[in-house]
Amino acid sequence: MKIICIAGLIGSGKDEVAKYISDKYGYEIIDYANILREIVRNEGLEVTRENLQNTRLKYGNTFLAEIVIKKIKESEKQKIILTPMRRSEDYLIPKKEFGSNMQMILVEVSAKVRFKRLSKRGRENDPKDFTTFKKQEKREFEIFNFKKTFSYADFKVNNNGNMNQLRIKIDDVMKKIDKSEPEVLLRQIVHPHSPRKFIIMGPQGSGKGTHAERLAKEMSILHVSSGDLLRDVAQQNTKQGKEIKHLLTTGKLLSDELVFDLLKKRLSKKDASKGYIIDGFPRNIKQTKTLEKTIEIDKVIYLNVSDKECLRRLSGRTQCEKCKAIYGNENQPKIKGKCDQCGGSLYVREDDKESVIKTRLKVYHDQTEPILDLYRKNGKLVEIKINGIKQPDEVFTDILKALGM
């Protein structure tokens, strides 16, 4: 969940910024000014600058923010723009609720440029000369504590130039916002009853592991990979460990009972109580039936990728020995052979060697693919078609969208 607050003085171009982010990045705009206008209209008043300011003063400093919080919680979208930030309460009250999900962009423009733009805009209340403009601005400073509000900005964007220059700067900020990881997950506040038990399916190399990990982080649930569970056992110096180690190099499926036992054990641990996303199980119809008897799965995410693309991706794949992070042609580690996240050593999995991959894909088509129809029929399948080369970020956005998040 991301909430981007937009702040700026009159004539700074806040609306353009909001619209650009909304159009390009799919954010829903919640506009303080529109909410206030609606209230003024409901009171039977004309929507003038004076009436807006008076109504705001009449109801106190917090009531608009409370309406906004309600609207955010009711919104289906997980990406929201909150604009314009005027009083510090407009920012601080939702911030209390949504924590680091909220970030603020301050749009900065010189007084001269702002006046020039406003005088061209030609709205009834817009100033006709620089003195009136300055007076209006002074009055706004008296009513709203801009200085304090703006001091909370996480990003500053200068908008003295043209729209193209502005877009480049916003794109830059958006990259940083996309990367930031909120500690408070609004999804849990907003959709407390949303599905929490997922399966992710797709051929080897479809990006299951990567997206399962990301989705798990986003929703504060557990990512369980049956392959990782097996590889953990394979590392043990026991008879079973050695047996599994050998079987894994063949690319064939291991015993249904063994894998299901490992999975059940893992899912009974405390960190699975908030929900989980299972990656690698079920892999055939029998496993599906066994799973259905024990667990009520909410949604099955299916990453539909062609064999050709999977083979291309798997040929460059490495995995971290320690934290199991996956690297590939598109996301190389910063230091060759070292994991970006934990510094662990990266290795090519025995079953990622080309001949084994071909067996694994065959097993997938023969045994795993038929499961998709079962989930399609019971309405649980959420299919993500990945045609050609798509950036992982794009795919992830598609997944969230398809899940209605």
Q: Are 109 and 165 in contact (CB under 8 A)?
A: no
**Residue number, 127 or 202, with CB nearest to ligand AMP:** 202
Show the tokens assigned to 174.
Answer: 């958006």
**Residue number, 2 or 283, with CB nearest to ligand AMP:** 283
Q: Are 260 and 281 in contact (CB under 8 A)?
A: yes
Q: Are 125 and 119 in contact (CB under 8 A)?
A: no
Closest contact distance (angstroms) between CB of 258 and ligand AMP is 8
Positions 247 through 266 that interact with ligand AMP (CB under 6 A): 248, 251-254, 259
Helices (H), 222-283: 226-234, 239-248, 256-267
Among residues 314, 317, 315, 321, the alpha carbon closest in space to that of 339 is found at 321
Among residues 306, 319, 321, 316, the alpha carbon closest in space to that of 354 is found at 316
Contact window for ligand AMP (CB under 6 A) among 164-172, 235-243, 276-284, 293-301: 276-284
Positions 348 through 387 that interact with ligand AMP (CB under 6 A): 351, 360
Beta strand pairing status for 381-385 and 299-304?
Answer: parallel
- The C-alpha atoms of residue 129 and residue 133 are separated, in whole angstroms, by 6
Closest contact distance (angstroms) between CB of 364 and ligand AMP is 9
Chain residue whose CB lies nearest ligand AMP: 227
Closest contact distance (angstroms) between CB of 338 and ligand AMP is 21
Q: Are 339 and 333 in contact (CB under 8 A)?
A: yes
Answer for which of 94, 280, 309, 346 binds ligand AMP (CB under 6 A) is 280
Residue bearing tokens 């996301």: 331
Positions 313 through 352 that interact with ligand AMP (CB under 6 A): 351
Does residue 227 belong to the site contacting ligand AMP (CB under 6 A)? yes
Hey, which residues are catalytic here? 208, 283, 317, 349, 360
Enumerate binding residues for ligand AMP (CB under 6 A): 204, 225-227, 230, 248, 251-254, 259, 280-281, 283, 287, 351, 360
